[in-house]
Amino acid sequence: MDIQVMPIDPARLRPPLSDNYGFCIHFANRMFTQRYTRGKGWHDARIEPYAPFAMDPATAVFHYAQLIFEGMKAYRRPDGNINLFRPMENARRFNNSARRMAMATVDEEEHLAAICRLIEVEHEWVPRQGDASLYIRPTMIATDTTLGVHASASYLHYVIISPVGPYFKEGFNPVPVYITDQYVRAVHGGVGEAKTGGNYAASLYAGEDARQKGYSQVLWLDAIERRYVEEVGAMNICFVYDGQRIVTPPLTGSILPGVTRKSVIELGRHLGYEVAEEMVDVYRMLDDVKAGRITEVFGCGTAAVIAPVGKFGFHDDEIAIHDGEPGPVAQRLYQELTDIQYGRAPDPFGWTYTISVNGH
């Protein structure tokens, strides 16, 4: 892929943020874009100034939500170079989402090369503080400008990047989670396993409802029986039995196959935990929490990495987990994973992909 790096007006260059990042509020000066036209394929790959898109009000994405995205991070290594974490997993998932949403697919190697090129150009935007990183948001939207309901023949693929601090303002403190059996996020046969905007739009109402009740995330149950645990907010979920057995729900098609989830399974086994992918019945799970058989619960995802759950709300009940304190398994996994991501520890799995910006 030939990527053209467009000039940028020096008067529009903003210096990289060095503190108070928030979460994806400020974006780097440049973005990657390329366009797809049926019959022609992908063309006009560019790194260009970050700017609003001018779009026709009839553009397909605004009406039928034909869009996909990814979420990944770049981490500053102690030697000044930059790590991506399992970026080909995200590239593969991007294409899986594209296929499910009847969109054009990308060349996965070229998609990764475009991300790397953008980060090389904007490397000063990768924070140097320990718990901060650069969030990467590859996106694809349908750009046909007719209101017919069919798969678009043209797409815009772009990547924007933003320095981020820790995801939860609570830090590594356990989050309160509300279990809803009133609303559902996704159904088998639907688009739950694709990273597409509609899944998130569908989750907002229940999220607001939970916040009003004093909880910061929603735990989703399966749509049919409203009984089997699926995922929590924008994270997969794990339960720790007796401090040594980690259980996470299987990928049944209605939950997102998380890269962090996959890494927790592999790292967990490597560290000597027993790890199983099993259906988790919410009623039994709550009994196991109350009886102390479940000793920890945590969410896992790129944004927060590992987020301990401090309590569940369900109907009118409130159930504390591990006395509301972060547990040792979550803390250990968080430490081990972030040490690999930031290049502070050896990476026996070959998960990190280093972008050299330092001459090393």
The site for ligand PLP (CB under 6 A) is made up of: 71, 231, 234-236, 256, 258-261, 301-302
Kindly state the smallest distance separating residue 122's Cβ from ligand PLP, in Å: 22
In angstroms, the CA 357 to CA 35 distance is 28
| Among 182, 185, 42, 45, CA closest to 115 | 45
Of 164 and 259, CB closest to ligand PLP: 259
Kindly state the smallest distance separating residue 261's Cβ from ligand PLP, in Å: 6
Of 234 and 265, CB closest to ligand PLP: 234
Q: Answer for the pair 219, 178: CB distance below 8 angstroms, yes or no.
A: yes
| Among 289, 288, 226, 222, CA closest to 253 | 222
In angstroms, the CA 87 to CA 289 distance is 35
Kindly state the smallest distance separating residue 274's Cβ from ligand PLP, in Å: 21
DSSP 229-242: EEEETTBEEEEEET
Kindly state the smallest distance separating residue 300's Cβ from ligand PLP, in Å: 6
Of 127 and 301, CB closest to ligand PLP: 301
- 25 burial type by CB count under 10 A (0-12 exposed, 13-18 middle, 19+ buried): exposed
| Among 135, 141, 107, 108, CA closest to 122 | 135
Kindly state the smallest distance separating residue 44's Cβ from ligand PLP, in Å: 28
Kindly state the smallest distance separating residue 159's Cβ from ligand PLP, in Å: 16
Of 118 and 259, CB closest to ligand PLP: 259
What would the two tokens of residue 20 be? 């108070």
Kindly state the smallest distance separating residue 217's Cβ from ligand PLP, in Å: 11
Of 45 and 219, CB closest to ligand PLP: 219
Kindly state the smallest distance separating residue 131's Cβ from ligand PLP, in Å: 17
Query: What is each CA distance from 241 to 207, 292, 332, in whole angstroms?
Result: 27, 9, 15
> Which residue in the shown chain puts its C-beta closest to ligand PLP?
258
Of 303 and 329, CB closest to ligand PLP: 303
Kindly state the smallest distance separating residue 259's Cβ from ligand PLP, in Å: 4
Q: Answer for the pair 71, 302: CB distance below 8 angstroms, yes or no.
A: yes
Of 42 and 135, CB closest to ligand PLP: 135
Give, as one character, the DSSP assignment of residue 10. Answer: G
| Among 260, 216, 204, 269, CA closest to 237 | 260
Backbone torsions φ then ψ of 276, nearest 5 degrees: -135, 145
Of 152 and 236, CB closest to ligand PLP: 236
In angstroms, the CA 27 to CA 12 distance is 13
Of 165 and 258, CB closest to ligand PLP: 258
Of 32 and 85, CB closest to ligand PLP: 85
- 169 burial type by CB count under 10 A (0-12 exposed, 13-18 middle, 19+ buried): exposed
Beta bridge partners of 72: 136
Give, as one character, the DSSP assignment of residue 184. Answer: -
Kindly state the smallest distance separating residue 303's Cβ from ligand PLP, in Å: 7
